[in-house]
Amino acid sequence: MMRIVTPAIVVAMRPHGEHGAVVRLLTPEHGLQAGYVRGARGRRLRPVLIPGNLVEATLSARTETQLAQAMVEPVRSRAPLLQEPLPAAAIDWVCALTATVLPEGQPYATLYQALDGLIGAIEAAPAASGWGSSLVRYELLLLAEQGFGLDLGQCAASGATDRLVAVSPRSGRAVSAAEAAPYAGKLLPLPPFLVGGGTADWPDILDGLRLTGHFLSRDLLGDRVAPVEAARDRLIERLRRAAGTA
């Protein structure tokens, strides 16, 4: 019999039956786990099972192939953030992305910590200028954890490690300013904060999301783009609006 007791981040909930739901949870040691929660749409549990919330979960099943029965207790609610359009769009997107691309049952401790940290940053600084760079880095980490990491440390053509300004959309490798010049318009911009660290301004954040979005769509989402692309489109549109008023 399988029994797991673990902290978890709610990343998705799908109604199932009259009152229940299948909930997907990202856990630190057991990866993505799905479980059926009785009464999930009732008054007590509905606010607990909002994506982005931190819970204590108990999952039980007779076999590893059976859908687990899940019980959850609230640890930290991010529900107040959902009243703010931009933080709500960001949490909606990162949770939908995580629930869509990760295989179930494989541990991703680094991703769990990164997602918890990202949502915590959104909670601490609702203005996207404070967490936008963390969102880009989370998407890059997700790509890397799934075997599609980008090589941003040196130029693909010359091996240079300075003045890296672009990324090849085919290879995912960085390109220096000198090597990028003949291919203007065909390469993806590489924002400086992904090379040298530091803070990111609005253009850099949007360039970073353009970079990660290309490889997420090509390498991870594929045929699964349609169900989640609307969440990313809403986020990008709200980020552009915020950038225009900053």
Residuewise pLDDT in 10s, the chain (246 residues): 789 999 999 999 998 888 899 999 999 999 999 999 999 988 899 999 999 999 999 999 988 788 999 999 999 999 898 889 899 999 999 999 999 999 999 999 999 999 999 999 999 986 788 899 999 999 999 999 999 999 999 999 999 999 999 999 999 999 999 999 999 889 999 999 999 887 789 999 999 999 999 999 999 987 766 668 888 988 999 999 888 865
Q: Which two tokens stand for residue 42?
A: 């009732």
Pairing of strands 20-27, 2-16: antiparallel
CA–CA gap between residue 122 and residue 22 (Å, rounded): 26
Burial class (CB in 10 A: 0-12, 13-18, 19+), 159: exposed
| pLDDT score recorded for residue 45 | 92
Residue 151 DSSP class: B
State residue 223's pLDDT score: 72
Amino acid (one-letter) located at 92: D
- The pTM of this model reads 0.93
CATH assignment of 2-77, among 2.120.10.30, 2.40.50.140, 3.30.420.40, 1.10.490.10: 2.40.50.140
Would you state the pLDDT for residue 243?
86
pLDDT attached to residue 18: 82
DSSP state letters, 185-209: TTSEE--THHHH-S---HHHHHHHH
Q: Can you give the residue ranges of every domain in the chain?
A: 2-77, 86-152+190-245
Dist CA 159 CA 239 (whole Å): 34
